[in-house]
Amino acid sequence: MTPTVRSAAGSDIGRRRAVNQDSAYTSSRLLAVADGMGGHAHGEIASAVAINAVAEVDASLEGVDLHDVDLLGALGTAMDTAARRLTDVADSDPALRGTGTTLVALLVDGTRIGVGHIGDSRAYLLRDGELQQITHDHTLVQSLIDEGRLTPDEAVGHPRRSVLVRTLQEGSPAEPDLFSVEGRVGDRFLVCSDGVTVVLDDDEIHEVLADVVEPADAVDRLIALANEGGGPDNITCVVADVVVDGVASDAGGFLFGAAAEASTTS
């Protein structure tokens, strides 16, 4: 049998926000989370635009043999589409100037996994009991760490920790990181907004992913812990297991958070 992913997702407004600006999408092929830029114009619109762009790519792959698909090319196309649409909506409504969002998306063909990433939402891999962050934050603080001007410990409480240096932004071309991961049966992936990681450190995330068996229960636990830690931001996560048996995620796909709200009101 060909491996696939069995996933669950959830999105919560948190304890201090008036609006949920996060969006997410899951299917048997695609896992994605977007976080509309807090403090910017209508971040919930930006995240929904990004998620809808990747969802359209996913829908276009229905019935297609993914072995023939350039996974990174497909993700890059989705991000280019999202950037153009953000520019279009801002051109049509000046109140949407400055609209932007992060985006992390995993496109899955068995154990062949393409990753597209921009911003500070993250993807993690739990394999053989070891947790690894597979995306690299596009933040000012991470840039300072990369340059050796700041240590990871100093970054934790840095006042500019959330300042982004790269996002999907209206008026700008998409410049995502695109890379491949060779998955294995038994792998567990977490894709999440920084509403999770601003509260929970890697040890706490590892404990949940390693100890909680069902993806849906792991999602619920991560959201609960983030809220117990103050819930300073919207909290969205997808937990997915690479499996060869059991019931995979619905190939039709599901929207969560702001994208789901937009689909019910449009």
pTM over 0.75: yes
Domains in the chain: ranges and CATH: 4-261 (3.60.40.10)
Residue 123 has what pLDDT?
98
202-211 and 215-228 helices, crossing angle to 10°: 150
Name which of 237, 225, 232 is nearest 124 in CA terms: 237
- The rounded distance, in Å, linking the Cα atoms of 216 and 207 is 15
Tens-digit pLDDT profile for residues 176-207: 999 999 999 999 999 999 999 999 999 999 99
* Confidence band, pLDDT 50/70/90 cuts, at residue 251: low
Q: Is the separation of the CB atoms in 59 and 52 below 8 Å?
A: no
